[in-house]
């Protein structure tokens, strides 16, 4: 018979997931098996090999998307603590589930954990909020802890760097695997100390800058009246930066629509689409035509066969012209 309770920590590999777990473990230390991945790798709960009496803590991954695995764990008698802000669907009513879920648009998982811990590790919640692009909420939270503008600016950059690290189309594209990043970060109580003295942070910062610079220098463009298609070279840097670069273009040229394309392993394309900032419409419907998904303002296509590039270009022009 097994007697020791095992702990599994399952978390999104972005800034929010990492900082949510870190707050929790600073207050409630535990030896845990860590399960995480790239930002879009969210079917993580199925990887947990837990038995009756074990405990699983889940952070920042959609319950709806992990429902089957969750039901199986609860059925076995595993206790599951679930913190999240993504669409959850109806919650299972099993007694083993302790869920703190809030899908209102101005919270992130790090802020939910902050509430749960009564703000005892607030600087990390601020990092989480900046990472999830909730800058206003991050500043408000920081102000309650007396943080001045320069301190907040550093937490913002840290949040953005941690978040950037989770992007890539495969683990080989990543600067460092989020599990290893969490292990480094978990040695620090103070996020400012972590950012200024941990070598991996200098690497994240430098790589993010270099990736954006090379995207600006090394590209092919297809210019259309409604906007541009930008083809980046076949590199890990391109695959990491695709979304961030599309955001940068959308901000710089608010009248224009943008599609940033990177070659995948079969030399087909993965695409990030941004609608013009002035008219946030059409990105989702365009991408859906090619098996993609997303929101009206920002959407993507995982796999576009290169033989369909002309068709995509025409559809891009038509979607944003008809507005």
60 vs 81, which CB is nearer to Mn ion?
Answer: 60
Q: Phi, psi (5° rounding) for residue 25?
A: -75, -25
Q: Does 81 bind Mn ion (CB under 5 A)?
A: no
Q: What's the rounded Cα separation, in Å, for the pair 123 and 155? A: 8
Binding footprint of Mn ion, residue count (CB under 5 A): 5
- Token pair for residue 30? 């535990």
Q: Does 138 bind Mn ion (CB under 5 A)?
A: no
Q: Phi, psi (5° rounding) for residue 298?
A: -145, 125
Q: What is the DSSP string of 232-270?
A: PPSSHHHHHHHHHHHHHHHHH-TTSEEEEEEE-TTS-EE
Binding-site string for Mn ion from residue 272 to residue 301, where x marks contact by CB under 5 A and - marks none: ------------------------------
Question: Smallest distance, Å, CB 132 to Mn ion?
Answer: 5
60 vs 211, which CB is nearer to Mn ion?
Answer: 60
Stretch that binds Mn ion, among 26-34, 113-121, 131-139, 212-220 (CB under 5 A): 131-139
Q: Does 160 bind Mn ion (CB under 5 A)?
A: no
Question: Smallest distance, Å, CB 190 to Mn ion?
Answer: 22
Per the listing, tokens 């609608």 go with 275
Query: Within its chain, how far is the Cα of 144 from the centroid?
Result: 26
Stretch that binds Mn ion, among 59-67, 175-183, 260-268, 297-305 (CB under 5 A): 59-67
Q: Does 84 bind Mn ion (CB under 5 A)?
A: no
140 vs 202, which CB is nearer to Mn ion?
Answer: 140
Question: Smallest distance, Å, CB 179 to Mn ion?
Answer: 17
Q: Does 132 bind Mn ion (CB under 5 A)?
A: yes
Q: Does 108 bind Mn ion (CB under 5 A)?
A: yes
Q: What's the rounded Cα separation, in Å, for the pair 106 and 103? A: 8
Which member of 9, 60, 160, 211 binds Mn ion (CB under 5 A)?
A: 60
Quick one: 11 exposed, middle or buried, by C-beta within 10 A (0-12, 13-18, 19+)?
buried
Question: Smallest distance, Å, CB 6 to Mn ion?
Answer: 26
Q: Does 126 bind Mn ion (CB under 5 A)?
A: no
Quick one: 86 exposed, middle or buried, by C-beta within 10 A (0-12, 13-18, 19+)?
middle
Residues 9-38 contacting Mn ion, CB under 5 A? 16
The contacts of residue 288 (CB under 8 Å, 6+ apart) are 299
Distances (CA, A) of 185 to 112, 138, 168, 189, 204: 20, 20, 20, 9, 13
81 vs 132, which CB is nearer to Mn ion?
Answer: 132
Query: Within its chain, how far is the Cα of 295 from the centroid?
Result: 15
Question: Smallest distance, Å, CB 219 to Mn ion?
Answer: 30
Q: What's the rounded Cα separation, in Å, for the pair 308 and 313? A: 9
16 vs 54, which CB is nearer to Mn ion?
Answer: 16
Question: Residues interacting with Mn ion, by CB under 5 A?
Answer: 16, 60, 108-109, 132
């Amino acid at each position: 018979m097994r007697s020791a309770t095992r702990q599994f920590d399952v978390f999104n590999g972005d800034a929010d997931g990492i900082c949510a777990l870190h707050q929790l473990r600073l207050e409630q230390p535990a030896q845990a098996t860590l399960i995480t991945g790239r930002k879009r790798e969210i079917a993580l709960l199925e990887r947990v090999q837990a038995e009756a009496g074990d405990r699983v803590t889940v952070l920042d991954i959609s319950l709806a998307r992990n429902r089957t695995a969750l039901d199986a764990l609860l059925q076995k008698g595993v206790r599951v603590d679930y913190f999240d802000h993504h669409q959850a669907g109806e919650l299972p009513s099993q007694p083993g589930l302790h869920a703190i879920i809030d899908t209102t648009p101005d919270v992130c998982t790090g802020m939910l954990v902050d509430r749960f811990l009564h703000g005892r590790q607030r600087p990390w919640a601020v990092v989480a909020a900046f990472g999830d692009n909730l800058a206003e909420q991050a500043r408000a939270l920081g102000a309650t802890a007396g943080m001045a503008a320069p301190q907040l600016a550093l937490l913002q950059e840290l949040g953005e760097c941690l978040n950037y690290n989770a992007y890539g189309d495969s683990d080989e594209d990543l600067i460092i695997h989020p599990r290893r990043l969490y292990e480094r970060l978990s040695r620090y109580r103070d996020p400012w100390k972590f950012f200024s003295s941990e070598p991996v942070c200098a690497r994240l910062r430098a790589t993010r800058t270099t990736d954006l610079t090379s995207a600006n220098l090394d590209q092919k463009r297809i210019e259309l009246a409604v906007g541009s298609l930008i083809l980046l070279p076949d590199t890990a840097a391109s695959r990491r930066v695709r979304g961030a670069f599309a955001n940068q273009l959308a901000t710089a040229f608010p009248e224009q629509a943008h599609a940033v394309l990177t070659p995948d392993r079969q030399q087909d394309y993965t695409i990030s689409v941004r609608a013009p900032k002035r008219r946030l419409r059409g990105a989702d419907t365009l991408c859906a035509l090619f098996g993609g998904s997303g929101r009206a303002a920002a959407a993507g296509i995982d796999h576009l066969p290169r033989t369909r590039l002309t068709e995509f270009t025409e559809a891009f022009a038509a979607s944003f012209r008809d507005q």
